[in-house]
Amino acid sequence: MKFLLASNSPRRAELLRNAGFEFEVISNGAQEGPPGSDEPPEDYARRLARDKALGAAATAPPGSVVLGADTIVALNGSILGKPLGPFDAARMIRMLSGMTHQVITAICLVKAPDQIAALKHETTFVTFREISVDEIHDYVGRKEPYDKAGAYAIQGLASRFATRISGCYFNVVGLPIALLDEVLRGIEAASAKLKASSPTPPQAAPSPVKG
Residue 97 is part of a domain; what is its CATH number? 3.90.950.10
The Cα 162–Cα 164 span in angstroms is: 6
The Cα 109–Cα 67 span in angstroms is: 5
In this structure, is residue 160 part of a structural domain? Answer: yes
**Contact assessment for residue 74 and residue 106, using Cβ atoms and an 8 Å cutoff:** no
Q: How far, rounded to the nearest angstrom, does the alpha carbon of residue 25 sit from its chain's CA centroid?
A: 13
**Contact assessment for residue 165 and residue 172, using Cβ atoms and an 8 Å cutoff:** yes
The Cα 157–Cα 135 span in angstroms is: 11
Q: Could you give the 3-state DSSP secondary structure of residue 145?
A: helix
The Cα 89–Cα 24 span in angstroms is: 32
If we measure between CA atoms, which residue out of 132, 188, 193 comes closest to residue 160?
132
**Predicted confidence band of residue 54 (pLDDT cuts 50, 70, 90):** very high
In this structure, is residue 109 part of a structural domain? Answer: yes
Cβ neighbors of 17 (< 8 A, separation 6 or more) are: none
Cβ neighbors of 183 (< 8 A, separation 6 or more) are: 107, 109, 117, 118, 120
Total structural domains within the chain: 1
If we measure between CA atoms, which residue out of 111, 93, 101 comes closest to residue 71?
101
**Contact assessment for residue 52 and residue 7, using Cβ atoms and an 8 Å cutoff:** yes
In this structure, is residue 144 part of a structural domain? Answer: yes
In this structure, is residue 136 part of a structural domain? Answer: yes
In this structure, is residue 197 part of a structural domain? Answer: no
If we measure between CA atoms, which residue out of 169, 44, 172 comes closest to residue 103?
172
The Cα 104–Cα 45 span in angstroms is: 7
The Cα 147–Cα 137 span in angstroms is: 17
In this structure, is residue 63 part of a structural domain? Answer: yes
181 counts as catalytic: no
**Predicted confidence band of residue 199 (pLDDT cuts 50, 70, 90):** low
pLDDT digits (tens, 9 = 90+) for 99-130: 999 999 999 999 999 999 999 999 999 999 99
pLDDT digits (tens, 9 = 90+) for 61-107: 999 999 999 999 999 989 998 999 999 999 999 999 999 999 999 99
Average pLDDT (196-202) is 65
In this structure, is residue 206 part of a structural domain? Answer: no
In this structure, is residue 68 part of a structural domain? Answer: yes
Structural domain span for residue 102: 3-188
Average pLDDT (3-29) is 92
pTM for this predicted structure: 0.88
Which letter, b or e, does each residue of 110-122 get, where b requires 16 or more Cβ atoms within 10 Å of its Cβ?
A: bbbeeeebbbbbb
CA atoms within 13 A on the CB side of 131: 25
| Active-site annotation holder among 38, 43, 51, 70 | 70
